[in-house]
Amino acid sequence: MPNSSSSSSLSGRILLLDDNSLGLSARRSVLEELGHKVMTSGAPQDALELCGKQRFDIVVTDYKMPKMNGVEFITRLRKQNPTVSVILISGFTDTLGLNEANTGADVVIQKSSHEVSHLVRSVNRLLRKRQQPARKPPASQLPKVEKIARRRS
């Protein structure tokens, strides 16, 4: 698949974490083809060390891994880097009730035949979100002092 104009402007640095090497190489191929710089890790502890040494825009992690599951990994990653975007991929999202609220991930994706398209869309959405400049809060969320100052000017 050649780069499209929309995806080439959204290239990011992505870390993929999965103890399944076939899953890692398949996701890596797709994301690199879209222009992303991708690194992989087969172990959560190694991935945490990589995140301590390098900056990633997005970390994609599997849920079921030996020694540390995806939610435990996300918890440790968030302590190290609270602003990194995280995607959790699992074949157990329905069975275990995994979602964004209870995992700490920005996106939770069910492993399925649609996984790749969901991953690509989620990566693009998270990269666009990271590129948006911080906006001023609406007037209703401004501190009371600022509201009064605005009315007087």
Q: Give the mean pLDDT of 105-129.
A: 95
Examine the pLDDT at 10 and tell me if it is beyond 50: yes
> So where are the chain's domains?
5-152
The first and second tokens of residue 118, run together, are 């969901």
pLDDT for residue 153:
54
| CATH of 5-152 among 3.40.50.2300, 3.90.220.20, 3.20.20.70, 3.40.50.1970 | 3.40.50.2300
Q: Give the closest residue to 87 by CA, choosing from 17, 40, 23.
A: 17
Q: Give the mean pLDDT of 88-99.
A: 92
